[in-house]
């Protein structure tokens, strides 16, 4: 009985053991299969400079277009959510924003080390930088030029230099050397700076040189950049460079030798980059307006505060003033009418300029006039913009503009969108046909309104001047800081749009000036009150 009953019991034990083994085999199999095919994640990193543990996949423009549409907005993304690094090579840069212990999180700038022919070698041949001006004296003091003598007491005791209006190339680069969040690791960079002296380059060849000479450095730069791994990450759309000249110097429209400038901004690669110029194009999306340099370059916050207080206390005996020359060869210019109105007014100060020796070439004479005026007239110059607008605001003088392209659609990073807070707008057609008296228009503004507007102008001064590159402001942001912040915001927004799969196919480049004026969150443009001002042919404002 015992022997015969043992076989079934042994069989049951074997069956149970087999089932148990099979159960655990399935558990382990499913576990490891899940690990092998699960989502790729980036390990948490407390130090933004730690190397990535997974390789970044370089994407081109066509890769970006086909990114998955179903994605999560960074604005609402949980802090513990990870983004596939092999899909977005800029993930590390975005992740630095979340590191609250890192003061540079989301603000790192990577600077290309260009061959010296693209920058330093130009300064060694400073006499060749301009046909009309010996630029050698203007590149000293990190691009600020020689110190200004304060014989008439117009300036404050420190920070004043005879700065050339086209010196932003070198000033900006030297300010970048002082930037507190530079990095040698491009994978964490919020943006990439290209220290090419584009303005100095073209100024050498604007007169008397053929197209191949004018284009040579731009073509060589693009060729150099496109070979760099940093370029391939976003096809250059995270890159930016600075040129201290107007955009039309880099937008030759034809291949005719007689046409003006080079074609830097029309090169396919350059269309991906952002170029900061002292005057941008209303109809193109790859350039952005930054202030002309003034004569004031504060080394510390106190220099700015003292100057602002001084401008508040000044007695201003002139209702309005104008410094400039007529443009008799330009039938669209209203300068003749403005000069005529100023001459016939007892409350207008006129400083007439010509190509000879004139007080217009004296910084102290110009600043003294602006400091004694409530309003300063700023019509178009040889192009939409003038350095004079920034010199006048530095003096606490309320600018009067006659075309929205002179400021309102240009310096949207640096000036309030509500232009009536700091300026007066008189349509130039009203002046051209004699419809309005400037004196009458300005006299209608109450003293209280004048004081409010002037205070707004004075408060804008820090963001309109370039601080001394040999020092750093502590609490104030200067024109450099504002520009860099804006570029970082632009690149960061673009990266988030790529992740979210936003379709920008409805973007109309011809309406670029309108997009800069949109409110936060808006993406489409429609009719605008300034449409008549920008309906002219593209090259109509180049002369």
Summarised one tens digit per residue, pLDDT across range 115-167 is 999 999 999 999 999 988 999 999 999 999 999 999 889 999 999 999 999 99
In this structure, of 97-106, 164-173, 514-523, the range with the lowest mean pLDDT score is 514-523
pLDDT in tens, 412-440: 999 999 999 999 999 999 999 999 999 99
Minimal CA–CA distance to 280: which of 323, 239, 247, 256? Answer: 247
Instruction: Give the residue-averaged pLDDT of 504-526.
Output: 85
pLDDT at residue number 75: 37
Going across the sheet that includes 109-111, the strands are 182-183, 109-111, 191-193, 239-246, 274-279, 287-289
The average confidence (pLDDT) of the chain is: 85
Of residues 15 and 364, the one with the higher pLDDT is 364
How far CA 130 is from CA of 122, 136, 264, 290, 405, in Å, comes to 11, 10, 19, 22, 27
pLDDT at residue number 4: 39
Question: Interhelix angle for 301-313 vs 447-464, to 10°?
Answer: 160
pLDDT at residue number 361: 78
pLDDT at 535 over 50: yes
Instruction: Give the residue-averaged pLDDT of 190-200.
Output: 98
pLDDT at residue number 74: 34
pLDDT at 360 over 90: no
Across 54-68, 78-92, 280-294, 326-340, the highest mean pLDDT is recorded for 280-294
Instruction: Give the residue-averaged pLDDT of 211-239.
Output: 97
Give 47's pLDDT tier (boundaries 50, 70, 90): very low
pLDDT at 450 over 60: yes
Q: Helix, strand or coil for residue 475?
A: coil
Distance CA 75, CA 204 (A): 47
Instruction: Give the residue-averaged pLDDT of 198-219.
Output: 96
In this structure, of 6-15, 130-139, 174-183, 215-224, the range with the lowest mean pLDDT score is 6-15
Q: Which residue has the tokens 């074997």?
A: 14
Q: Which residue has the tokens 């400083």?
A: 351
Torsion of CA 527, 529, 535, 539, to 10 degrees: -120
pLDDT at residue number 90: 93
Give 88's pLDDT tier (boundaries 50, 70, 90): confident
DSSP codes of every residue in 262-330: --GGGSHHHHHSEEEEEE--TT-SSEEE-PPP-SB--SSHHHHHHHHHHHHH----EEEEEEE---TT-
Instruction: Give the residue-averaged pLDDT of 104-125.
Output: 97
pLDDT at residue number 387: 96
Going across the sheet that includes 318-324, the strands are 348-352, 318-324, 373-378, 398-401, 424-425
Q: Which residue has the tokens 């604005």?
A: 75
Max CA separation in the chain (angstroms): 136
Helix (H) or strand (E) holding 392: helix 388-394
Backbone φ and ψ for 241, nearest 5 degrees, come out as: -140, 170
Of residues 210 and 14, the one with the higher pLDDT is 210
In this structure, of 176-185, 212-221, 532-541, the range with the lowest mean pLDDT score is 532-541
Percentage of the chain beyond pLDDT 70 is 81
Domains and CATH numbers, the chain: 90-293+479-524 (no CATH), 301-464 (3.40.50.2000)
pLDDT at residue number 382: 86
pLDDT at residue number 19: 57
Q: For residue 426, what is the DSSP state?
A: -
pLDDT at 78 over 70: no
pLDDT at 23 over 90: no
pLDDT at 210 over 60: yes
pLDDT at 29 over 80: no
In this structure, of 79-93, 241-255, 482-496, 511-525, the range with the lowest mean pLDDT score is 79-93
Distance CA 225, CA 397 (A): 43
């Amino acid at each position: 009985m015992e022997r015969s009953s043992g076989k079934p019991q042994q069989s049951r034990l074997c069956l149970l053991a087999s089932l148990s083994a099979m159960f655990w085999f399935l558990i382990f199999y499913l576990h490891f299969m899940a690990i092998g095919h699960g989502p790729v994640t980036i390990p948490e990193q407390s130090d933004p400079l730690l190397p990535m543990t997974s390789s970044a996949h370089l994407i081109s423009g066509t890769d970006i277009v086909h990114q998955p549409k179903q994605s999560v907005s960074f604005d609402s993304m949980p802090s513990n959510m990870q983004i596939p690094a092999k899909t977005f090579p800029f993930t590390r840069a975005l992740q630095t924003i979340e590191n609250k212990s890192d003061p540079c999180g989301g603000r790192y700038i990577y600077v290309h080390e260009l061959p010296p022919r693209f920058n330093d070698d130009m300064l060694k041949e400073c006499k060749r930088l301009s046909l009309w001006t010996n630029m050698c004296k203007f590149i000293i003091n990190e691009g600020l030029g020689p110190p200004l003598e304060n014989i008439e007491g117009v300036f404050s005791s420190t920070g004043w230099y005879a700065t050339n209006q086209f010196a932003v190339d070198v000033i900006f680069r030297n300010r970048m050397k002082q930037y507190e969040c530079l990095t040698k690791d491009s994978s964490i960079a919020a943006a990439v700076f290209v220290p090419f002296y584009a303005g100095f380059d073209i100024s050498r060849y604007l007169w008397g040189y053929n197209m191949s000479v004018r284009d040579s450095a731009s073509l060589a730069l693009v060729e150099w950049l496109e070979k760099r791994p940093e370029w391939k990450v976003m096809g250059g759309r995270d890159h930016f460079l600075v040129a201290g000249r107007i955009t039309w110097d880099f937008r030759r429209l034809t291949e005719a030798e007689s046409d003006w400038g080079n074609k830097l901004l029309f090169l396919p690669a350059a269309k991906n980059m952002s170029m900061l110029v002292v005057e941008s194009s209303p109809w193109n999306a790859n350039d952005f307006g930054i202030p002309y340099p003034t004569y004031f370059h504060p080394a510390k916050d106190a220099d700015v505060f003292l100057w602002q207080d001084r401008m508040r206390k000044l007695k201003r005996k002139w209702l309005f003033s104008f410094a400039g020359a007529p443009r008799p060869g330009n039938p669209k210019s209203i300068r003749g009418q403005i000069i005529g109105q100023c001459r016939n007014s007892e409350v207008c100060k006129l400083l007439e300029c010509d190509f000879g020796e004139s007080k217009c070439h004296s910084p102290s004479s110009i600043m003294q006039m602006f400091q004694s005026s409530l309003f300063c007239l700023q019509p178009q110059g040889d192009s939409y913009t003038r350095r004079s607008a920034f010199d006048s605001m530095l003096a606490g003088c309320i600018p009067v503009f006659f075309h929205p392209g002179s400021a309102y659609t240009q310096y949207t990073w640096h000036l309030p969108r509500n232009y009536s807070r700091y300026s007066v707008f008189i349509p130039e057609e009203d002046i051209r046909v004699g419809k309005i008296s400037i004196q009458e228009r300005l006299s209608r503004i109450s003293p209280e309104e004048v004081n409010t507007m002037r205070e707004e102008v004075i408060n804008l001064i820090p963001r309109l001047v370039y601080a001394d590159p040999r020092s750093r402001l502590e609490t104030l942001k200067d024109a450099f800081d504002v520009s860099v912040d804006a570029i970082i915001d632009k690149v960061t927004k673009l990266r988030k749009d790529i992740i979210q799969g936003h379709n920008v196919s409805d973007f109309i480049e011809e309406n670029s000036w309108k997009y800069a004026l949109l409110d936060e969150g808006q993406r489409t443009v429609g009719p605008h009150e300034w449409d008549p001002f920008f309906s002219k042919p593209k090259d109509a404002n180049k002369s």
